[in-house]
Amino acid sequence: MSHPIDAILDRIDAGQGRALDRLMELLRIPSISTDPAHADDCETAADWLVAELTHLGFDASKRATPGHPMVVAHGGAGARHVLFYGHYDVQPVDPRRLWNRDPFDPAIDQTPRGAVIRARGASDDKGQLMTFLEACRAWKDETGALPCRISVLFEGEEESGSPSLVPFLEANREELKAEIALICDTGLHDDRIPAIVTTLRGLLGEELTIEGPDRDLHSGQYGGPAMNPARVLTRILGRLHDDQGRVQVPGFYDGVGELPDDVKAGWDDLGFSTEAFLGEVGLSHAAGERGRSGLEMLWSRPTAEINGIWSGYTGKGFKTVLPSKAHAKVSFRLVGGQDPLRLREAFRDWVIAQMPPDCHVTFQGHGAGPASAMSVDGPVFAAAQAALTEEWGQQATFVGGGGSIPIAGYFQSVLGMESLLTGFAKDDDQIHSPNEKYDVESFRKGIRSWARILGRLAD
């Protein structure tokens, strides 16, 4: 390799304390995008990142959107042009009482499995985002320049459905388009094997409200003859799956293909244990589609899940009311060629067809992103795989992703470019939950991994 990678890696290790200090600064900013009370904090986080990027020699700016701002930066030179994407917003912290410390007062905790950074956003996505910036810092400090032409896009609405993202990409298509997008919002396989995610499930969110009587009713006076919206809702949700775990919305499986034999064989070779996976969260039996392996269900099969139900009186004690309204939130993870907008229409039609007299339903959509699949042919993915293998001492593997990162699909459909997704989170990082953490070793080796990847890409 023509670049002084060993010296760069030594610089990263020597500067680990200062890198952690910078991450702690960013983690202290409560940039919760879903809460309007934290709009100023999202602005503060964007300003912080602009300042850091400017310090690293990027031409960086904060760009206004109808929601929270984007951060865009450009730096370096050379034939190869990459775009790095991350998000600076974080999930809400509720229930706060379950946190062992203030979620925005980050600290290093010592655990039986090693030191961890404990704070909201430590893993999703501030810690991961900073691995790339620190790799750029090491290149700049050691060589005086970035290893190639690098653009950066940091979003502030990823945790709230990215409403401003697609319009921003469309309006700035020529400025943002690059050879490849780099995304660090994924994790290690089995907490130890470096992984490049090549498939991601899409996501569709629906909230429905069923209304019946014009007010809550006394169950003794009206129970029996009066229609109960909670009863209607639970009956419909109970029909969402059959006894084989298949989703019953008409047309749901349109565009869903079977896994190629060679891909399935590769996944089988990973030695994934569904029983052990479920055992870590206190479960013991797989509950999805019958006849499918755990990895198939996680990476290549679509799902329909009930995320929340509420109706009537839910406070302490008891109140014998027949509720006037019943609500639910339902999400669908999508694969292959499933069309989220067609599925939204099909789901709503399916629910409406089951409405009895005296009840009506309204819907609110919460995001609609398609699945995405990356082609790993070509030198970029081979270079990244080699760099990760060098750093972690284990062969980096291509895997599927059970979650949804809509930006990868948008980069394909709007900017016409593939995404390389690799990250260093672990399954026990408790993202979106109380006591979120990111391993200090993941942070250190994440920085070193990006330094190696950039060097190989530049070569």
Give pLDDT tens digits for 333-342.
999 899 999 9
Residue 354 amino acid letter: Q
What beta strand segments (E) does 175-221 contain?
180-183, 195-200, 202-211, 217-218
Q: Are 333 and 202 in contact (CB under 8 A)?
A: yes
* Residue partners of 51: CB distance under 8 A and separation at least 6: none
Alpha-carbon distance 186 to 195, whole Å?
9
The whole-angstrom separation of Cα 284 and Cα 274 is 9
Ordered structural domains, the chain, with CATH: 5-200+371-458 (3.40.630.10), 202-256+302-369 (3.30.70.360)
Average pLDDT over residues 103-119: 96
- pLDDT value, residue 401: 85
pLDDT tens for 33-84 read 999 999 999 999 999 999 999 999 999 999 999 999 999 999 999 999 999 9
∠420-397-137 over CA atoms, to 5°? 45
- In this prediction, what percent of the chain has a pLDDT beyond 70? 99
% the chain with pLDDT above 90: 87
| pLDDT band, residue 1 (cuts 50/70/90) | very low
Query: What's this model's pTM, rounded to 2 decimal places?
Result: 0.82
Concatenate the DSSP letters of all residues of 393-427 into one string: SS--EEEEESS--HHHHHHHHTT---EEEE--B-G
How many CB atoms neighbour CB 44 within 10 A?
17
**Among candidate residues 160, 161, 177, 158, the one with its CA nearest the CA of residue 169:** 177
Q: Which helix (H) or strand (E) holds 308?
A: strand 303-311
Mean pLDDT, the chain, whole residue set: 95
pLDDT, tens only, 147-187: 999 999 999 999 998 999 999 999 999 999 999 999 999 99
